[in-house]
Amino acid sequence: MAWICKKKWVIASSLVLAISLFVVLVNYSEKPYFRLQPMLGQSFSPRWMSSWQHKVARPHPGYVSVPKKELLKLSCDVCSVVSSSGQVLGRGAGAEIDRAACVWRMNNAPTQRYEKDVGSRTNLRVVSHTSVPLLLHKPQHFFGPASNGTVYVVWGPRRNMSPDGNGLIYNMLRRAADDFPNARIYVTTDERMNYCDNMFKRETGRDRITSGSYLSTGWFTLILAMDMCKEIRMYGMINDTYCKSEGYKKVPYHYYEAGSRDECAEYILHENAPYGGHRFITEKTVFAKWAKTHPIKFFHPEWQLS
Ligand SMILES: *[C@@H]1O[C@H](CO)[C@@H](O)[C@H](O)[C@H]1NC(C)=O
Ligand SMILES: *[C@@H]1O[C@H](CO)[C@@H](O)[C@H](O)[C@H]1NC(C)=O
């Protein structure tokens, strides 16, 4: 009798196991259909939105590795995106930042000595072509084994980033990839650079080039994060009216450059530069608009988004 009971139990549990296995297989085999949607040149269509709900890593055609040109594969649940602004200083958000599935930073913003405010993990850095030489000042730190598998996504104009041997910055990255074969270095494709320009034109009605401006690393970071993160938690970014608000806090433009020009002075200088400036304030207006349709939240300072 006991033997029969045992047999029944084995059959029942095998059945349960088989059904679970089937459910798992069906789930996994469905995901690629969502992941094959092309991303480039799409506006915020319902199909684009639907990709938010699926956090399986899809190869992104806008970013290719150096030198092999493999597509960037990445996906995160919650992303902490840490701005390089002095706003982060003294807020003690480090532990909260580190709790996210992925921690993103920009350029060469350090964590050492600032862990309490900015956290210590780094999964990805979005890097301006102009900051690449700064990373190469500390190649072991950024690209060696101590870099903990950090992914680098570099953006820049074609003249610097061309892989045909004439791109000064691309050549530097290529040498870094030779020296550190395990470094995960990606560059933004020409098509993706154009896409980011077109987003600026669509959102502001102004042509990025004829209006004499450069997009900021923050712009490229948010566009990438909207594709890769299910939820974005942005730390230390001010809103578009901050510098006009009464008694605003004067902080260094970069948290790691004490004594540099204060953030608002830098922003206003750039916003009004006839050429060669970043339109930081205009970009913030656009970010607020994106945050209405995407899961983006801003902390330290907090943004009131209706
Ligand atoms: C890698 O992780 C260690 C331990 O958390 C940390 O001390 C180090 O700064 C990290 N390296 C980088 C480049 O983030
Ligand atoms: C923008 O920031 C200022 C200063 O922190 C604040 O008073 C204002 O409410 C914020 N506006 C929005 C829309 O978040």
Which ligand places an atom closest to the C-alpha of 300? 2
C-beta of 242 in contact with ligand 2 (< 6 A): yes
Question: How many CA atoms, within 13 angstroms, populate the side-chain half-sphere of residue 189?
Answer: 14
- Domains of the chain, earliest start first: 45-297 (3.90.1480.20)
**Beta carbons within 8 Å of 272's beta carbon, 6+ residues apart:** none
Ligand 1, closest atom to CA 121? 14
**Distance of CA 214 to CAs 210, 233, 263, 273, 276, Å?**
10, 24, 18, 11, 6
Give 140 Cα–ligand 1 centroid separation in angstroms.
11
Ligand 2, closest atom to CA 288? 13
Give 41 Cα–ligand 2 centroid separation in angstroms.
32
pLDDT of residue 26: 40
pLDDT of residue 236: 97
pLDDT of residue 15: 55
Helix/strand/coil (H, E, C) string of 130-152? Answer: HHHHHHCCCHHHHHCHHHCCCEE
C-beta of 120 in contact with ligand 1 (< 6 A): yes
Task: Check: pTM over 0.85? Answer yes or no.
Answer: no
Give 295 Cα–ligand 2 centroid separation in angstroms.
19
- pLDDT one digit per residue (tens) for the chain, 306 residues: 445 555 666 556 665 555 554 544 444 433 332 333 333 333 333 333 333 444 567 899 999 999 999 999 999 999 999 999 999 999 999 999 999 999 999 999 999 999 999 999 999 999 999 999 999 999 999 999 989 999 999 999 999 999 999 999 999 999 999 999 999 999 999 999 999 999 988 998 888 778 778 889 999 999 999 999 999 999 999 999 999 999 999 999 999 998 888 999 988 888 888 877 888 888 999 999 999 999 999 999 999 987
Give 126 Cα–ligand 1 centroid separation in angstroms.
17
Q: If you take atom 5 of ligand 2, which residue's CA is the nearest one?
A: 242
Q: Pocket of ligand 1, candidates 122, 134, 148: which has the most ligand atoms within 8 Å of its Cβ, to mutate?
A: 148
C-beta of 141 in contact with ligand 1 (< 6 A): yes
Give CA angle at 58 (29, 147), nearest 5°: 130
pLDDT of residue 104: 98
C-beta of 147 in contact with ligand 1 (< 6 A): yes
Among 280, 294, 194, which Cα is nearest to 241's? 280
Q: Pocket of ligand 2, candidates 286, 292, 303, 305: which has the most ligand atoms within 8 Å of its Cβ, to mutate?
A: 303
| Size (the chain), residues | 306
pLDDT of residue 144: 96
CA–CA dist 115, 80 (Å, integer):
14
Going edge to edge, which strands form the sheet with 229-235?
A: 71-74, 58-65, 184-188, 151-155, 124-128, 102-106, 76-82, 229-235, 296-299
C-beta of 148 in contact with ligand 1 (< 6 A): yes
C-beta of 304 in contact with ligand 2 (< 6 A): yes
C-beta of 241 in contact with ligand 2 (< 6 A): yes
